[in-house]
Amino acid sequence: MAPHAIGESSHSTAVPDVLSGYTTVNVLSDKARVVDNSLVSDYTYENATVKRLPGGKLEVTPSKVDYNFKVDLKVPKTGLMMVGLGGNNGSTLTATILANRYGINFRSKQGLQKPNYYGSVTQASTLKLGVDEDGNDAYAPFNQILPMLHPNDIVIGGWDINSANLAEAMERSKVLDYDLQRQVAKYMAQIKPLPSIYYPDFIAANQNDRADNLIDGDSKWDHVMRLRQDIADFKQKNELEKVIVVWTANTERYAEIIPGVNDTAENLIKSIKESHEEIAPSTIFAVACILDGVSFINGSPQNTFVPGCIELAEKHKSFIGGDDFKSGQTKIKSVLAQFLVDAGIRPVSIASYNHLGNNDGFNLSAPQQFRSKEISKKSVVDDMIASNQILYNKEKGDHIDHCIVIKYVPAVGDSKVAMDEYHSELMMGGHNTISIHNVCEDSLLASPLIIDLVVVCEFFSRVSYKLAADEDAKFEQFYPVLSVLSYWLKAPLARPGTMAVNGLNKQRACLENLLRAFVGLGTQNELKLEERLW
């Protein structure tokens, strides 16, 4: 075999550049074509079905299914409405977008700083396309594979239980350098949160003093209708084609799942109309969005998406995603725990300790709100345990002893301190302990996640599919639980009856391979036969 023959294109130069004029990446593929401003691609999904046989044997059957994907190439004018607009994340994200939009440079103690979107996968990471003429990996910006929403173009609005305008909220948050705050304040002061809903039983009592910007009345159904009107007004005022809503407000306590109350879509709507006490504010926001086909993403750890809410999203075919932004400590955990298990090392305990000094930490100092966070942080290793029956025997109840502690320490402000210890078993009775001390600026890690969640959610709202074998079939959108957002979420919401994927590498591979499929490329290939064969 001649050197690099494997890497040579099997297509002639007559194959058109299917994305000419749309992106900087020219894809020459006979599996994709542009039809009426949409990119239509052919993709063969190869997998394998595994059957468990007596005696512990496994029977594996390869499978293939041919799909057609369609991507609308027109990026719509999009608005982002944040619940908790005046919080640390909301004010930090808004200031960042304004600084990038207007090219605002600022000075810190390190010198002159230029605005950027570091920490955002869609804006600051690359994706491997293939190999170049020398057999070396070749990469392109993530957002140049297909047309995607740019954060500079996002129109921002939202709700908050506190009435401070965003200039005041930014100053209160103490996240950004003063010189940047000074320059963006004139823009930030023009943005004031809409009144929000406030059910004191669901968040810590210490938040009561902030609650001076509330929607009137006690009727939860009236609250749903008011939020729907808020979204419609925001869309009309800003001449938007699409709106996405993100919850970045306080962590709520877990809602109890009660038969006849929130277990089905019908019961949930009935309970909202009766203003049942167990319907949480975040669920009210989710229902308001779902009823109007507006995508809703939950960035906090509570169980916003009770069973009835998921069923309602299925009924209305409205995208939902959650739960809880995965920014620092948990993101590391989703990589390190996977590495240990894949290496055949048996983690037996993970102890995580956090110091947090912002308002999120203040709210989490209440036991019920902390419990929501504890659940989301603990679930990150579940699928890793399930992946290795050698290290963890399900019948014996093998598990990882996972301890989570969060302490409110005002002195550290937004610079969250995370300390982790991974204790693992090695061969022949040996042990290994990995200790990590991580200091991160919480809102500067979380804000880019909101950008990515909005950009990717908007993108997938333009994607549809059908079975290639059925010529009469209509293109359908993806399932409403948008699990492709899992990369950015601590406790990914999965389709009922399936296990969520927490491993960061698996989540990233899913995103990359879907983008490749949409442009007519095969699954990412790391065989590197160019350098392994004669």
Q: What is the pLDDT of residues 223-238, one digit of tens each?
A: 999 999 999 999 999 9
> Given the structure tokens 């042990």, which residue do they identify?
431
Q: Are residues 270 and 154 in the same domain?
A: yes
Catalytic residue among 31, 373, 377, 378: 373
Q: Are residues 205 and 298 in the same domain?
A: yes
Would you state the pLDDT for residue 407? 86
Beta bridge partners of 476: 465
Q: Are residues 474 and 346 in the same domain?
A: no
Q: Please determine, for residue 11, whether its predicted confidence score (pLDDT) is greater than 60.
A: no
Residue 64 located in a structural domain: no
Q: Are residues 244 and 161 in the same domain?
A: yes
- For 363-374, what is the mean pLDDT? 64
Residue 24 located in a structural domain: no
For position 374, which CATH number holds? 3.30.360.10
Q: Check if the beta carbon of residue 305 is closer than 8 Å to that of residue 262.
A: no
Backbone phi and psi for residue 460, each to the nearest 5 degrees, phi listed first: -70, -15
Q: Are residues 138 and 106 in the same domain?
A: yes
> Given the structure tokens 């010198």, which residue do they identify?
111
> Given the structure tokens 């392994």, which residue do they identify?
532
Q: Which two tokens stand for residue 246?
A: 């993100």
Q: Are residues 181 and 262 in the same domain?
A: yes
Work out the burial of residue 424: count CB atoms within 10 Å of its CB; fewer than 13 is exposed, 13-18 middle, 19 or more buried. buried
Residue 77 amino acid letter: K
Residues near 264 by Cβ (< 8 Å), separated by ≥ 6? 307, 308, 311
Q: Check if the beta carbon of residue 163 is closer than 8 Å to that of residue 210.
A: no
Ramachandran quadrant class, 217 (left: phi over 0; alpha: psi -120 to 50; beta: rest): left
Q: Report cis status (omega within 30 of 0) of the bond before 398.
A: no
Q: Which two tokens stand for residue 329?
A: 């400590």
Q: Are residues 297 and 349 in the same domain?
A: no
Would you state the pLDDT for residue 397? 85
The answer to whether 373 is a known catalytic residue is yes
Catalytic residue among 324, 383, 414, 452: 324
Q: Are residues 158 and 263 in the same domain?
A: yes
Task: Characterize the bridge pairing of strands 463-467 and 32-35.
Answer: unpaired
Q: Are residues 117 and 135 in the same domain?
A: yes
> Given the structure tokens 């496994």, which residue do they identify?
58
Residue 156 located in a structural domain: yes
- Using only C-alpha atoms, the chain has a radius of gyration, in whole angstroms, of 24
Average pLDDT of the residues of the chain: 90
Beta bridge partners of 437: 419
Catalytic residue among 31, 242, 326, 416: 416
- Count of CB atoms situated within 10 Å of the CB of 453: 26
| pTM for the predicted model, two decimal places | 0.91
- For 242-271, what is the mean pLDDT? 96
Least confident of 12-21, 102-111, 141-150, 300-309: 12-21
The answer to whether 416 is a known catalytic residue is yes
Would you state the pLDDT for residue 15? 45
pLDDT (tens digit, 9 = 90+) per residue, 310-341? 999 999 999 999 888 988 778 888 888 889 99
Q: Please determine, for residue 515, whether its predicted confidence score (pLDDT) is greater than 80.
A: yes
* CA-wise closest residue to 41 among 11, 74, 67: 67
Q: Please determine, for residue 13, whether its predicted confidence score (pLDDT) is greater than 60.
A: no
Residue 3 located in a structural domain: no
Residue 534 located in a structural domain: no
For position 88, which CATH number holds? 3.40.50.720
Residue 35, CB-side half-sphere exposure with 13 Å CA sphere: 9
- How far is Cα 125 from Cα 104, in angstroms, rounded to an integer? 22
Q: Edge to edge, what strands does the sheet with 346-356 contain?
A: 401-408, 346-356, 415-425, 431-441
Would you state the pLDDT for residue 4? 30
Q: Which residue has the higher pLDDT, 198 or 16?
A: 198
CA angle 185/189/193 to nearest 5° reads 135
Q: Are residues 198 and 264 in the same domain?
A: yes
Q: Are residues 438 and 449 in the same domain?
A: no
- The boundaries of the domain holding residue 87 are 78-325+444-514
Beta bridge partners of 247: 83, 298
The answer to whether 57 is a known catalytic residue is no
Residue 61 located in a structural domain: no
Q: Check if the beta carbon of residue 195 is closer than 8 Å to that of residue 159.
A: yes
What domain count does the chain have?
2
CA–CA distances in Å: residue 129 to residues 78, 145, 374, 523, 529? 28, 9, 38, 10, 16
* Cβ density class 287-304: b for 16+ within 10 Å, e for less: bbbbbeebbbbbbbbbbb
Least confident of 179-183, 202-206, 368-372: 368-372
Q: Are residues 334 and 294 in the same domain?
A: no
